[in-house]
Each structure stands twice: as structure tokens, then as C-alpha cells.
Structure 1
Amino acid sequence: MTDSASEHEQPGADNEPDGSSRPNTGDAKIAWLYGMWTLDILPQIGPVAAQIYEANPRLFRDVPEIVAEILAVFRYATGYTEDSLNSTQRNTLIQPILGTSDGLSQAILNDDFHIVANSMQTAAKEYVQRTSDTGEEQLREAFRDSVTTFRQYIETLNGSVVDNAYNRIHGSFNDVVTVLQDRAFASGLGLPPAPSGASWPFNLEVDHNGAALVEELAARTSSSNGVSRPPMDRTIFTVTQRVAHYGSQAIAYVLLNGEPSDNDAAATLIGLAYRWKTALRDLAVGAQGAGVPTLGGISGNGSSPAGVPASVVMARESERAIRGRS
């Protein structure tokens, strides 16, 4: 993959030695992996971006060489090299670690990761949404117990296999970001580019230009598969960014800090876990309310093994409740 390091340096956020974009999660690689896996729609649209580029030379004549090289890799290497995985290969690699991507499915997930994650999220919800202060300490201790189980599960995974998965996908993920940030490529689609020089799409760097590009390419992905389906609503991407952010932050906090021993630390982690759960809820409720089919991704051979809900309605976060109860 082309080294796209210089394209998206993150001021105020953690960066790899090459400067590429990733969540602000310290040294917890499994947290970075969760963020990218949740936003797996990005590598899904890479190959179709390359197809559109090649089919429309007049529209994309000003695309710089570095971006053209990235698109060539998406077009001809996806599914055939160890760092250009297609959707099926990414799923095979990451599902044993993190289960089904939270950005690609709103079904009830019963894999080990989601069982322990949901236990921690639910304990946070019960603490935040309690109707009185009676039993507050017991609810806080129940949350700490759930964190212990979650940490023990994550620590059994965090190692060579996680490093390998991260190394296999982070290059192509960042290369898609580079393409979407390129003004000439976005102009060929008639849209502004995604933000550059910041942390997008991580760390709650919500930008409707970037989301619109994702929506447009996802719609083209649908038509390239010969399936007539509604285009993805761009709001799904901004909600999925919330899921990726709060999930990766919660995972990193647990790994880097352990169980919260004091009430202030517990309040911080309760806030992250609760916002993670509400973001997942908003994604699921919006997709169900829209009543629309899912949108498949593109793999190296043109198949579409993974699905993405086509619309989502953003719901308000309960920050007032967290501030009042923490």
C-alpha cells in the first residue's frame, strides 16, 4: 500500500510513527482495531472508488499521482495481497477477535466480545439511569465487576493476533481516507473533500462532506453490484463514528487503566461505556425505523458479503444524565 502518512497528521491525538490517522487510544492496538472495524465501510468503498476513477478519465484528470497509485492498488490488488484484504478476508481475520463489526450489523450479537462489552455497557446504563441514589454504591460496584470481566477478556486477546490484524488493515484504511481527502477526487464526484490535517474519521471529527462522499460511493457500490437499493443515508456514517469513538475509547481506558479504583475514574469509564451503548442504540433504532434493506460492500471479486443499513436517525445523547449522576 502507498504510504499516506503525511496526508492526515492529527494535532492533539496519538499517531503512529508514520503519522497515519487512528483513534486517540494510546498503545492499546485492539482499541484502534475496534475503531477501524466499526468503520469498515471505508475499505469497502475503496475498490468502487477505483472503478469510478478509471471509468471517468475526464472527471478525474487532476487527481495527483499518489492518489492514482492508491486507487490502482484498490482496483487490482484487493483480495490478492496480505495488506489489501477484501471484505471476506477482513471478516475472517477480525471476527474471531471482535465479532461482527458494530458498523455493519445491528442484530443481537452473541459472540464473546459483544457479550462482555454489552455487560459493561448495561451496567453503565443501569448506574446512569437509576431513579434514586439508593443502591448507588452497589450499582457502581456491579459496574466495576463488569469491567473486570471485560478487561480479562480483552487482555487474553491483545497480542500477536491483534497486531497482525492491525497490520493487515490499517494501511488500506488510511489509504481510503487519503482518497476521500483529495480535492481533485472529490471534485470528480461533484462533492467537497473530507477534512484533512485532522483526526477524521476518528475522535468525533464529524464532517458532513466526508459523510456525503461515503454515501455517494456506497450508492455506487450498490449499482455496481447490479442491485437496485436505496443509497446509504449519510447520517449512518456520523452515528457509526460515535460508536467507533466511544467503543475504542472505552476499550483503551480499560486496558491502560484497569478497573476504576476511585469514584472519579469510575465516572469517566461509566460515561464512555454509556455513550458507547447509546450510540449503538441510536444506530439500531434508526435502521429499524427506516425499514430499508442493507447495502453490500465490494470485495476483490465483486461479491458483497457484508451489509450496511441504508439509513439511520441520530438521537440525542444523555450527557445531562451522566453529569448529574457521575
Structure 2
Amino acid sequence: MVETTYNLNDMEEINQTSSEGFILLGLSNVPYLQVICFLVFLLMYIITLSGNLLLIIVVSINRKLQNPMYFFLSNLSIVDIFFSTSIVPKILVNTLAIDKSISFLGCALQMYFSMVFGTTECFILAVMAYDRFAAICRPLHYNTIMNKTLCTSLATGSWGVSVLNSALHVALTFQISYCKSRHINHFFCEMQPLLQLSCRDTLLNEIVMYISTGILGMPSFFFTLISYVQIISTILRIRSSQGRHKAFSTCTSHLTVVVLYYGTLLFMYLRPRSTYSPEIDKTLSILYTVVTPMLNPLVYSVRNKDVKNTVKRKHT
């Protein structure tokens, strides 16, 4: 009898949440801070869109850039545009709006797409590191290693695995019942804040999350790090001090962005649920969902001579 009552209550809770959705508490409830947040995020979003769109256009019009490195950079730009777009516009609306609600379906879709693009970025960054490793450490065999078939397969595989992985997490997250509150103490629908609202044991969700991060996220991170270690080792053997300094500077900036992205992401998804802190999590989420997509085109392409020359030619 007790079991039947519990299940009926759960169904009632699920139906209520499904019909009413959730309320995103956002970044701040202080009026002047809301205005500042709106302006800052709007500026970052404009920079993200402008930088990544510019890179895609430049690569498409310059035949010299039709190579594996820029193929993956274009993929990264596409990922960053959609990753940022799946989150930032909702932040902008909710920051100034009185109604901060999001439908049950809308929340599920936002979580799904943000996970797809976030996971794909992990893979693309790892693939780009391998591409640079092959170019710098195996220059004579580069064209053989990074052939068109392999590049297409790596890009397609990155997107495919991300789509399946995200679908699994969203399905598991939105089949549980939410009874503690409709208020999500976050600025977008992310897994950890949602699990905090569940009135059921979420151990299965957490186990799947740890396994997924351990199988997909950590190997990508370590593979990227190992590739850059090999690259730096090769760079240090360059005889020209000027060439060594330039290559090392570029490599360091790439590695900084990679560590920023992977570090915050892995910390979010691998730490125990008991250590959950809404304010810390918001800060970490901003770094990998908003800051990194903005920095990527600046770090990977703006300093590149071929990209700058193409832009200059189009302006003259």
C-alpha cells in the first residue's frame, strides 16, 4: 500500500513539473548587477559569433587554408557558435525578464544541445592537438597521416558519439521525478542542478555521468596533454631562438585554453555530489560555456598569419 501511494505521488510530481516546467534563478537578483551581467554577456556573445563566423568565412574563401588544421578549426567554430547560442540568449532574456521560467521540454532541449556541443568540443580539441602533433613531430608523414578520409571520420565520429552520449544523459535525467522545487539555482538547464531537485535516489545518473566522463572526457584531456608535451619537446629542439619562441608562445596559448576548458568541465562532472555549490558551479559553467567559445577563435586563428592576410586582402 505504501509503495502504491509513493508511485502515485511520483506520477503527480512528474505531471506537475511537465506542465509547469522550471524557473531558472539566473546569475543575480540585484538590479544593477543584472544590467552589468546583461551587457557583459551580450558583448561576449557578439565577440563569440563575430570571431567564429569570421574564421569560417576566411577558411571557405582562401584555398590555402583548405587543409586538416583549418578543417578542424572550422568544426570548432561551428561547435562554439551553437554551444554559445544554446545558452547565452536564454541568459540574456532571463537576466532582465520578470518571468524566468523554462518549459520542461525547453529545459530538456537546452540540456541536450549544450551537452552535444560541449562534448563535441572535447573531441575536436583532442583531434586538433593530434593534428598539430602530426604536423610538428611527424612533418614528413603529415599528409599521409592526416588524409581526407581520416579527417572526415574523426569529425563525424566526434559529432556522432556526442549526440548519442547526450541523448543517454538527457533521457536518464528527465525520467526522474522532481519534487523538491521548480527553481533551478543556475543560469541554464545543466545536469547537476537538476539532480539536486530530485526526490529520488540519483545514484544511477551519477554513475553513468562518472563513467561517461571517465571514458570520453578524461582520455580526450590526457591525449591532448600528451600531444602538446610531444609538441613542446620538439619545439625546444628548434635551433632558431626566434622561431622557438614564436612556436612556444602559440603552443602555450593553445594549451592554456585547453586546460581552462577541460579543467572546469572535468571538475564539474567528476566531483562528488556532496560538494555541489551553486555559486562555484555557476562560475565554472561560465568559463566553459561562454568564455572558452569566445577565446577559441582569438587564440587559434586571429594570431595566424594566413588568416590575417586573408582578412586584410578582403578589406583592401
TM range (shorter): 0.3 to 0.5
Q: TM-score, normalised by structure 2?
A: 0.35
Q: TM-score, normalised by structure 1?
A: 0.34
More helix by share: 2
**Structure whose alpha-carbon radius of gyration is higher:** 2
